[in-house]
């Protein structure tokens, strides 16, 4: 009896993963899943894994992980108040200083982030004191998020299943100022005008704490992160809607500027 219930469940989870993956590929929005399909947070992560497995089957390579809702500003903007995490692939990378084709997305938004590069395998829960010792470098970054759900509205389970709205990321130049990030100014600008201002302190009090959380989440999921992987610490401010014709830049403390341009692109 139990066996048949769980196998029915796993078929449904795969079907939901396929629906989300197809929505991302075809750039069409779908209704949130949870009103119709009751699944737990744990099952939401299974859907996430299954949708990422489809990307890996198409040849995309894992490059690291991202945390979400590590700042109050993001929790308030999206009405969700739990820390979440998602998986990143190389197909999501966009070039610093390059042009981002908005027709790759449904209703993209951008948010300023801090990105860490690991120097050692993370395969157990780390303490705050240990975190920096597992890092090679830090870079200013921006995440382009794009919910597959209609009107960018979702529950916690929905957004986790949708790989935490992951769509693309632009990572700036790396430096070794890992310990100097506790309270740095963050300014995201559209065509030179500030659209979001904040502080790295908004990210869990100190972005380094994202490494502690990431190590705990990985360990709970029985996963390890190799050396040379990216960890996106989560947005310091709310996200802004992207439109064509923008020069988008982010400055964080003394880190190099990270920037990109937006274009309407070929699919529209
Ligand atoms: C979910 C992703 C949250 C962050 O940095 O907090 C996130 C969303 O806002 O759609 O990436
Ligand atoms: Mg983010």
- Cβ(51) – ligand 1 distance below 6 Å: no
Q: How far apart are CA 7 and CA 76, in angstroms?
A: 37
Ligand with the closest atom to the CA of 109? 1
SS3 8: helix
Calculate what percentage of the chain has a pLDDT beyond 90.
92
Q: How far apart are CA 39 and CA 43, in angstroms?
A: 6
Return the pLDDT at 8.
47
Q: How confident is the model at residue 265 (pLDDT cuts 50, 70, 90)?
A: confident
Q: Where are the domains of the chain?
A: 13-262
Average pLDDT over residues 80-85: 95
Return the pLDDT at 5.
42
Q: Which atom of ligand 1 is nearest to the CA of 75?
A: 6
Enclosing H/E stretch for 20: helix 2-26
Average pLDDT over residues 189-201: 98
Q: How far apart are CA 130 and CA 201, in angstroms?
A: 19
Average pLDDT over residues 163-171: 98
**Nearest to residue 141, comparing CAs of 104, 119, 102, 168?**
168
CA-based radius of gyration for the chain: 18
Burial classification of residue 249, based on how many CB atoms lie within 10 Å of its CB (0-12 exposed, 13-18 middle, 19 or more buried): buried
Average pLDDT over residues 94-114: 98
The model's pLDDT over 152-161, given as tens digits with 9 standing for 90+, comes to 999 999 999 9
Average pLDDT over residues 106-131: 98
Q: How far apart are CA 82 and CA 79, in angstroms?
A: 10
User: For domain 13-262, is the CATH number 3.90.850.10?
Assistant: yes
SS3 7: helix
Calculate what percentage of the chain has a pLDDT beyond 70.
95
Return the pLDDT at 169.
98
Q: Measured in angstroms, how far is the CA atom of residue 268 from the centroid of ligand 2?
A: 25
Return the pLDDT at 179.
87
SS3 content of the chain, % helix, strand, coil (to 5): 35, 30, 35
Return the pLDDT at 224.
98
Q: How confident is the model at residue 266 (pLDDT cuts 50, 70, 90)?
A: low
Q: Which atom of ligand 1 is nearest to the CA of 152?
A: 10
- Cβ(198) – ligand 1 distance below 6 Å: no
Report the mean per-residue pLDDT for the chain.
94
Q: Measured in angstroms, how far is the CA atom of residue 92 from the centroid of ligand 2?
A: 13
Q: How confident is the model at residue 7 (pLDDT cuts 50, 70, 90)?
A: very low
Contacts of 70 (CB under 8 A, 6+ apart): 83, 203, 204, 210, 213, 233, 234, 235
- Cβ(202) – ligand 1 distance below 6 Å: no
Map tokens 């310091």 to a residue. Answer: 236
């Amino acid at each position: 009896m139990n066996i048949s219930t769980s196998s029915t469940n796993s078929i449904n989870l795969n079907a939901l993963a396929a629906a989300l993956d197809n929505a991302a590929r075809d750039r069409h929005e779908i209704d949130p899943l949870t009103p119709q399909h009751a699944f737990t947070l744990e099952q939401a992560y299974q859907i996430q894994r299954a949708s990422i497995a489809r990307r890996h089957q198409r040849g995309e390579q894992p490059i690291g992980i991202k945390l979400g809702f590590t700042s109050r500003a993001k929790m308030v903007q999206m009405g969700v108040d739990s820390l979440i995490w998602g998986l990143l692939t190389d197909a999501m990378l966009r070039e610093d200083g390059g042009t981002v084709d908005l027709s790759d997305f449904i209703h993209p938004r951008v948010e300023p982030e801090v990105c860490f590069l690991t120097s050692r395998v993370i395969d157990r829960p780390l303490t705050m004191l240990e975190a920096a010792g597992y890092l090679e470098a830090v870079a200013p970054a921006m995440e382009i998020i794009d919910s597959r759900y209609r009107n960018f509205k979702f529950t916690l389970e929905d957004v986790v299943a949708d790989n935490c709205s992951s769509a693309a990321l632009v990572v700036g130049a790396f430096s070794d100022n890992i310990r100097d990030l506790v309270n740095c100014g963050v300014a995201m600008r559209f065509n030179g005008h500030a659209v979001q201002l904040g502080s790295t302190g908004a990210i869990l009090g100190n972005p380094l704490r994202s490494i502690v959380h990431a190590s705990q989440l990985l360990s709970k999921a029985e996963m390890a992160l190799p050396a040379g992987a990216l960890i996106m610490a989560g947005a310091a401010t709310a996200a802004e809607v992207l439109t064509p014709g923008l020069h988008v830049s982010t400055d964080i403390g003394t880190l190099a500027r990270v920037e990109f341009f937006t274009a309407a692109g070929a699919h529209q």
